[in-house]
A = this chain, B = another copy of it.
Amino acid sequence: MARWDPNARQRLERAALELFVRQGYDRTTVAEIAERAGLAKSTFFRHFADKREVLSGGDALTRLLTGAVAAAPPGAGPRQAVEAALAAVGAQAFTAERHETVRERQQVVAANPELTERELLKREALAAALTAALRERGVPEPTAVLAAVLGLLALRAALARWTARPGQDFTALALAELTALCEAAAAL
C-alpha cells in the first residue's frame, strides 16, 4: 500500500520524529524508521544522506532569513535587516501551530550529541549565508560577520525560551534578545 505514495520523504520524517520521541534517537534504527514509513532501508538513504539528516528540516530557515535580509528596505542598516530576518522567522517558521513539533524536535536534538553536532554544522552554514546576504547589502566585512552571529545568537536564545513555554510570540522574544546583546556589545 505504501509503495508509490508520493510523500515518501515526509512520511520518513514523521516516522523518525515519532520514534525518536517515543524511544530515543539511538534506540531507533534506520530499518525501523523505514518500516514504519512503509519503505525499505535503502530508500531511506536515497532521501537522506544519513540518519541525522532526517531531522534537519531542509534549508527553509536559510531561505527565510536570507530572503528577509535581501528584502529589507534600502535605507535599513545591518541591525534593522537582522531584525527583519528574525521577524520573518517568527511569522513563518516558529508559529503557534508548529510549536509542538518544534518543541519535540528540539528536545530530541538536545538529548543527542550526534544530532547536536549536525545542528551546529547547520548553524555554521546559516551564519555564512546570513553574512553573505548582509555583505550583499553593502555591509562591510567585520560588521557583517558580527551582525550575523548576533542574530543567530538571539535566535537560539529566543528559541529556547519559546519552546519552554507556549503562547509567547517568537518575534518579540527574539527582538528582545537582540536588543540585550547589542546593548552589551556597545558597552564592551
Chain B residues lying within 8 Å of A74, measured Cβ to Cβ, are none
Chain B residues lying within 8 Å of A2, measured Cβ to Cβ, are none
How many copies of this chain does the complex contain? 2
Q: How far is A79 from B186 in the complex, measured between Cα atoms in Å?
A: 12
In the complex, are the beta carbons of A188 and B146 less than 8 A apart?
yes
Candidate in A146, A150, A181, A183 with the most chain B CB atoms within 10 angstroms: A146
Contact A143 to B188, CB < 8 A, known contacts A120-B120, A120-B121: yes
In the complex, are the beta carbons of A153 and B147 less than 8 A apart?
no
Chain B residues lying within 8 Å of A153, measured Cβ to Cβ, are 145-146, 149
Partner-contacting stretch, out of A100-108, A111-119, A163-171: A111-119
A78 at the B interface (CB under 8 A): yes
In the complex, are the beta carbons of B120 and A184 less than 8 A apart?
no
In the complex, are the beta carbons of B146 and A181 less than 8 A apart?
yes
In the complex, are the beta carbons of B113 and A120 less than 8 A apart?
no
**A75 → chain B closest CB, angstroms:** 16
Q: How far is A183 from B146 in the complex, measured between Cα atoms in Å?
A: 10
**A110 → chain B closest CB, angstroms:** 12
Chain B, Cβ-Cβ closest to A52: B117
Chain B residues lying within 8 Å of A117, measured Cβ to Cβ, are 117-118, 120-121
A187 at the B interface (CB under 8 A): yes
Chain B residues lying within 8 Å of A116, measured Cβ to Cβ, are 121, 124
Q: How far is A181 from B146 in the complex, measured between Cα atoms in Å?
A: 7
Proximity string of chain A (123-160) to chain B, C-beta cutoff 8 Å, 1 when within and 0 when not: 11000000000000000101101110110010000000
Give chain A's interface residues, CB within 8 Å of chain B: 78-79, 113, 116-118, 120-121, 123-124, 140, 142-143, 145-147, 149-150, 153, 180-188
Some 27 contacts from A to B, beta carbons below 8 A apart, are: A78-B188, A79-B188, A113-B121, A116-B124, A117-B118, A117-B120, A117-B121, A120-B121, A120-B124, A140-B184, A142-B184, A143-B187, A145-B181, A145-B184, A146-B153, A146-B181, A146-B184, A146-B185, A146-B188, A147-B188, A149-B149, A149-B153, A182-B188, A185-B186, A185-B188, A186-B186, A186-B188
